[in-house]
Amino acid sequence: MVSVVPIVRQSASSASKPSKPLLRRATLSGTVRKVDDAGLGDDFLSAPPSPSKKARVTFKDEVEEKVMEEYQVKGRSLDSVRGEVKRALHAHLKDDSEGYDVIKEVFAPRRDDDEDEDEVDAKADIKAYVIALTSQASLLNKNCSDLVKAILGCEWMGRDEGFVKAYVHFLGSLASAQGAYVGMVLGMLVNHFYGVKLSSGRLPGCPDVNRDQLASRIHVALKYLLRLIPSASGTLSSILSSKFPSPDDSKKEHITYIENLIRLIEFTPELKSDVFALITDRLVKIDVQMQVDLEDLDDEVAAAIVQALALNRASTEENDADDSDSDLDSVTSDEEIQTDAARIKEVRENIEKMDSILDLLFNIYNPYFADPHSIEAANMFETLLNHFVNIILPTYRSRHTQFLLFHFAQTAEHLVDQFAGTCVQLAFQTSRPAVLRQSAAAYLASFVARGAHVQPNVVRTVFELIGNNLDVIRAENEVTCRGPDLRRYGTFYAMTQALLYIFCFRWRDLIEASDIDEDEDPVAFIGQDLTWTPGIKETLSRTIYSKLNPLKICSPPIVAEFAKISHHLRFMYVYPLLETNKRIRLSQFSSSLANGALRDTGNGGNNESWHQLDAYFPFDPYQLPVSKRWVEDDYVQWKSVPGLNQDEDEDDESGEEEGGEDDVEVEEDSTGDDDDE
């Protein structure tokens, strides 16, 4: 858990940790609970008890016998089947597997050409075999693994409720008696998290079972097993990770799997943290791959894909496949090479997948922040912060996943403060790798600049904190500095670029006092001396004119925009320095010290761009068409400075409304992709 340094308030009320889950009560063994105390009651299929009202149901022999009275085939009683199973298992241990093989065949999938009368009778009596094997679970050791696999692979979800109850009871007895099978049993159940087939609920001789009922039976079985063996939750966590859909799997598989994960943690709260971390980790991987694919495509093709998805957002799930093909045709109608068409289709599917998963996650997280001052919100935000520090921040190309933090951090002022404070702490920690400190500075600047609910006092405080830190770094290094060097002073340049970016977007919040109303007179700023927050101008002046020369290293589009705005507002005039910098070659100062930087200088040789900072600001415009609705009200769009480039503004009023020409200049270069806002 990350300790947070608040930006405005010095302390925040700490949320109390949830009490130990009731589902994990201590037992005499410390690991396994009694079978008859695990909640597998007569009504367990229709209405699983809530954690606050758990039913306690005991299994009695006479009840079990009564269930089987009407389940006899050709006069065979339950005792007869039990005897057969017991003899077969003992014989199998002595290398006589004739009866053992007969039992295995009982659980084999039914074939269309099954005509053998004895085989049909055996399959009809499958419930008796399940109950008989339950009582002999202690004999099902590793020598019986093929029989266990056959039982776990049988068609059980779509049978009558009595059979399903007996089967789940068997799973519990097997896992309790033979710990080696716990992973296999849990894995069989998790395999259904990708979705259950409708045909599984339409078995011959059994009443039809719909998909919702089939899915419920999977979770009832998991709930029963985890109540019976609380320690199995650790095994389940690793299984959930290993079986998570791969990035190449379909959108439907991802959505279904995640929905099942969320349903799972409703009755296994001890897995909540692991499950949310798993989802975030896999989402970031999809995010990165999608971004790489988009950058490889032609700009116009990438824009057409996003536009097609936006137009298709109202389509139903039933028509997704057909709509996808028709939309793809419209995007790739001019493509002549089949491989290019296939690649575009893959990119389109990944964008749609990413969009749907994020929209689902916004919906999942949103109820926790219904009251952003609640304990639930505090705990969930701590979870999000942990994901940010451990998963999102170290992933340089993450493009959209971080907007979960962007949105929910702005649901309350204290959460804004908490997220900004976390970024400040990460950026200033000298013990952290330089590349992570630089990335944290980029997140801090982007959040403060783009967050519509980030108050002016936070903007000023962050500006001051970064400025003070820059003074410390400058004082420590200026004496020995030979010239601008990205590798050696990467953190200094990243923090300077953060200030330039914040200034370009939030300069209005850095004005301490002004009687000018820009809404009444858009050119009123021209030629006026504005009163700036004390220390702002002095800090930037010391930084910019230091021997470390950050304007030569920071991204040229950001520097150019800062120079233009600061000059127009009579804040600072840096054009002479920019002219001088044109004569400086960065390669002569570049050190071989591998200190880490957001820009990998690599073997760029004399190419100056390889020695300059990449303009990475992780909250640049959000492009996913469906989930975009969650962040639209949280976002600060670019506003041109009144009176600056007035002629251009008048010629392109519509472009200014969507972000403006200046916005395009800054944003396109800062994201590394096209932002069609």
Among 654, 321, 297, 635, which residue's Cα sits nearest to residue 450?
635
Q: Tell me: the pLDDT tens digits for 380-406?
A: 999 999 999 999 999 988 999 999 999
Gap between the Cα atoms of 406 and 671, Å rounded: 16
pLDDT on residue 649: 47
Q: Which of 20-24, 84-88, 229-233, 272-276 has the lowest mean pLDDT?
A: 20-24
Show the tokens assigned to 450.
Answer: 């783009």
Q: How does residue 612 score in pLDDT terms, banded at 50, 70 and 90?
A: confident
Domain boundaries along the sequence of the chain:
23-264, 432-677
| 45-74 per-position pLDDT tens digit | 543 433 344 444 444 444 344 444 444 444
| pLDDT at site 292 | 85
pLDDT for 239 beyond 80 = yes
> pLDDT per residue over 315-343, tens digit each?
544 454 444 444 444 444 444 445 667 77
Average pLDDT, integer, range 420-431: 92
C-alpha to C-alpha distance for 388 and 404, rounded to whole angstroms: 10
pLDDT at residue 580 above 80? yes
139-142: Cβ within 8 A, 24+ apart: 139/86, 139/89, 139/90, 139/93, 140/89, 140/174, 140/177, 140/178, 140/181, 141/178, 142/180
Stated as kind and residue range, the H or E segment containing 513 is strand 511-513
* Residue 554, C-beta contacts closer than 8 angstroms, at least 6 positions apart: 493, 496, 497, 500, 612, 613
Name residue 532's beta-bridge partners. Answer: 511
The rounded distance, in Å, linking the Cα atoms of 351 and 337 is: 22
In this predicted structure, what is the pLDDT of residue 655? 41
